[in-house]
Amino acid sequence: MPEEHTEIKIGIVGCGGRMGQTLIGAVLDQAGARLSGGTERHDSPLIGQTIRHPATGVETDLNITGDAEALFTASDVVIDFTCPTATVLHSGFATKHNTVHIAGTTGMTMADEDALRDAAKTVPVVYASNFSLGVNLLFYLTQKAASLLDEDFDIEILEMHHRHKVDAPSGTALGLGQQAARGRGVDLKEVADRGRDGITGARKRGDIGFAVLRGGNVAGEHTVSFNADDERIELTHKAGNRAIFARGAVKAALWATGRKAGLYDMFDVLGLPKE
């Protein structure tokens, strides 16, 4: 274990939820990292509670607070899997206090993403729809397959998540759509088919379709299907536990520390080629 002064101080905003708790555990288990604190909404009943390791129950000397700006001040890196409104606010704190911002929030609009791009002019920002190594390999393979298979292969993206997920399609599914569109050299906004109900007519050639399932406690399943006459190619990733996303986010936090300002993604963190 590195000496304390060499440890990277990592804070977690939104630390009380399922993903936040998983992130707490991942930071506490990571050599070379030190948890610098965790926050929740000001009206959360968790405010003031001691932060504990979610698996072992071992207490830290930190309490959950409602002061996100103070957390950015006290941290080298802050990991943010919250909501778009909060993430935009946090990007301003990152800029103000020269803190690395790791953003895994989904459901971001273009305007929300502009806030991250602005922050990235001043500090390193790693923004990704999914921080899993396996999913990012799926992103790469999807782009590659789409570049090799012409429009005779209809592209469909199916995702399933737990019943509590509030956005659809998932950020990962949309990321897969972006990679497929990039491989085809098209704009996803022009070819995405995100809703089918009733008499929809025949499938439009070249479209990229999305389908969504919700139920149970599924951490995340994604399939990209390339469908031609008489043959189908499927690329699938199934997450057994959200810990894979937390470990990837912590890996990104360690990687980004000391980097020059810029907007990065997990392809950068993992050294995957960008085409």
DSSP secondary structure string for all residues of 116-135: HHHHTTTSEEEE-S---HHH
Kindly list the distances between the CA atom of residue 150 and the CA atoms of 138, 153, 209, 235, in Å, as whole numbers in the listed order. Answer: 19, 6, 15, 17
Token pair recorded at residue 273: 């080629």
pTM score of the predicted model: 0.83
Q: Does domain 4-127+242-270 have CATH number 3.30.70.100?
A: no
Sequence ranges of the domains in the chain: 4-127+242-270, 133-239
Interval 128-172: pLDDT, tens: 988 999 999 999 999 999 999 999 999 999 999 999 998 899 989
Residues annotated as catalytic are 161, 165
Interval 18-65: pLDDT, tens: 999 999 999 999 999 999 999 999 999 999 999 999 999 999 999 999
Task: Give the residue among 12, 3, 33, 2 at the shortest CA–CA distance from 251.
Answer: 33
Reduced to 3 states, what is the DSSP secondary structure of residue 222? strand
CB proximity list for 134: less than 8 A, separation 6 or greater: 237, 239, 244
Between CA 31 and CA 26 the distance in angstroms is 10
Fold topology of 133-239: Dihydrodipicolinate Reductase; domain 2 (3.30.360)
